[in-house]
Amino acid sequence: MYLYSKRKAGQSFLWVMDRVVITVALAGFFIRTGNLMNSEIIGKATDVPWSFVFVNAFVPDPMTPRHPAQLYEALSYLTIFVILFSIYQKSYKTLKEGYLLGIFLVLVFVARFIIEFYKENQSSFEQGMTLNMGQLLSIPLILWGFYLLFKSKKESA
């Protein structure tokens, strides 16, 4: 994206990213839906009425009902797509550079941070950790998103 922004006359990296993240959110919806269909990235065991049984999952007890964490993430990405697309449609001429990217980073990685509590750990080294690797990696991206939002609001003042 950086190289593309350099080739696109008069457009900065943030301008390009503000447009790309809208479709990235929609792509995230389709990716997590695929994870659901493939029984990948499964949730923790639960007894909630909307739990799923992942018969083909590689887990110790595949008949245990689990949180559909992939569905939680897919729906959050679809919601983020709708939010970003709506903001872009309503105010694309007046948006400050980095604003949509900032919203995307904050919403996606806050959602991921929360949903990670409902997922099984992906790696054995995460056992016993308060926060898993997905949550730890989300924190700097959330902070970067807030920085971009603050910076874009400051430029508009």
Q: What is the average per-residue pLDDT within 69-84?
A: 98
Q: What does pTM read for this prediction?
A: 0.88
Tell me how far apart the alpha carbons of residues 73 and 11 are, in angstroms, rounded to a whole number: 32
Helix or strand run (H / E) with residue 65: strand 65-66
The kind and range of the H/E element at 53 are: strand 52-53
Extents of the domains making up the chain: 13-156
Question: Which pLDDT score, from 0 to 100, does residue 106 have?
Answer: 98
Q: Please give the single-letter amino acid code of residue 1.
A: M
Which of 21-25, 108-112, 120-124 has the least mean pLDDT?
120-124
